[in-house]
Structure 1
Amino acid sequence: MRTSVIVALLMGLSCTTHAEVKEAGPDHFLSQNTRTVHVAPAKLYAALIDIGHWWNGKHTYSGDAAHLSIQAEAGGCFCERWNDQSVAHGRVIWASPNHLLRLDTALGPLQNMAVQGVMTFVLKPAPDGTTLQFEYRVNGASNSGLDKLAPDVDGVMMEQLQRLQRFAESGKADAAGP
């Protein structure tokens, strides 16, 4: 998928619920979300790193999330590979199975902007499953306009978190039809 198409998807996304954009300025934004996922931490972590089964293929370059993978160890690639092409969406900077996954990643159009993004998933046991704490912190130059992109990036990430939760709890990332 071409970068212009991904920008259009990000800009045109309409999502009724969002993670919270805690901070936003032209040179940065911080998006956070906390939710309870009704599975044990080990099951949620296994689902998290099985990204090709829950990520929305609309937000890939190939158009197919099955081409995504995460090598869940320090230095591991969050990559997309298809035909003779490949994209490194990010790099694992901390993997603690069943507890934490942290990626150095500037997704979609952010990659072309040469900004720095750090995405963190923290998993904590909860009485009815796992508390999942999500944070995406992006920093760039003062002319990056990240404050304008923050709500749309946040919307895309909220969609992905909803899909992760559905996949972990039911084995299917797509919402049930009407």
Structure 2
Amino acid sequence: MKISLLAATLLVALSSPAFAEVKASSDAGFNVVHLTAVEAKPEEIWKRLIAPKDWWSKAHSWSGSSDGFYIDAQANGCFCELFQEKGDDGRLKTVGSVEHMRVIFAQPHKVLRMQGALGPLQSEAVTGTLTVAMEPSKDGTTTKISFSYVVGGYMRYKVAEIAPAVDKVLGEQFRNLLSPYKPSQDENLASPDGFSLDLENLEDAEPIAAPESGSNNSGIETSDGQPDVSPQ
């Protein structure tokens, strides 16, 4: 039992992003960032990225299932979810749909940028922009990848409460996306300030030391009093 518990603890530690935090926040909005490196090629990660049904948690869906999730990875393409039910003939039929985000920039194996207010933010007057950026190492053995989600506008939530909650949910999806790949042992990762999250040319990153083992990678604390960011 102790061995199993230790193995589970180690797995969680290895699968956690090397950098994750609410990078900035104010009354006008917030920015959350997740950054890590894995032993995989950008082509592999991109293929998995645009198949969200394989990694997006059904706990954060509108239908209770991730089977209907898809991303049309081109400008004006949809990151959408289909509501599906079995008909009398036993076949699945689509009975509704929801747009999570819309693609505004797609450069395969490098950058996918989408706009949309995720989860409960959909009912608020906010704009959310998610940039997924990736950059291979010079030897091609690892890939640095980040999620950067910027939200701004009027909302009825308190930023101090909703920002850490959104950060937690996005972190879960980030880990799910990268779960098939071994974390990189490279201790030099770029900081969000150096890694060009919002540019297409990602070659000018300045490395910093990775967090020490055992440190709180999230940079934030969560509590039971935070809002539930599930759509339902």
Tell whether the structures are fold-level matches, with TM greater than 0.5: yes
Sort the Cα spacing of 1:120 and 1:135 in 2 relative to 1 into closer, same or farther, 3 A: same
- CA distance in structure 2 between the partners assigned to 1:165 and 1:31 by the alignment: 18
Report if aligned partners of 1:19, 1:155 keep a CA contact under 8 Å in 2.
no
Identity of aligned residues (%): 36
Match of 2:170 among 157, 160, 165: 157
Is 142-151 or 131-140 further displaced after alignment?
142-151
Report if aligned partners of 2:34, 2:147 keep a CA contact under 8 Å in 1.
yes
Partner residue, 1:66: 67
State how many pairs are aligned: 154
Partner residue, 1:131: 144
Structure 1 residue ranges without an equivalent (≥5): 1-15, 171-178
Partner residue, 1:12: none
Report if aligned partners of 1:26, 1:143 keep a CA contact under 8 Å in 2.
no
Sort the Cα spacing of 1:142 and 1:111 in 2 relative to 1 into closer, same or farther, 3 A: closer
Report the alpha carbon displacement of residue 144 of structure 1 after superposing the two structures with TM. Answer: 4.8
RMSD: 1.8
Structure 1 stretches of 4+ moved >6 Å: none
Partner residue, 2:100: 89
Match of 1:110 among 103, 110, 121: 121
* TM-score w.r.t. length of structure 2: 0.63
Partner residue, 2:133: 122
- Structure number having the greater helix percentage: 1
Q: Deviations over 1:138-168 (max 9, x none)?
A: 001276522320000000000100000014x
Report the alpha carbon displacement of residue 38 of structure 1 after superposing the two structures with TM. Answer: 1.5
* TM-score w.r.t. length of structure 1: 0.81
- CA distance in structure 1 between the partners assigned to 2:67 and 2:100 by the alignment: 14
Question: Could you say which structure has the greater relative contact order, defined with CA pairs below 8 angstroms and 6 or more residues apart?
Answer: 1
Structure 2 residue ranges without an equivalent (≥5): 1-15, 85-94, 183-232
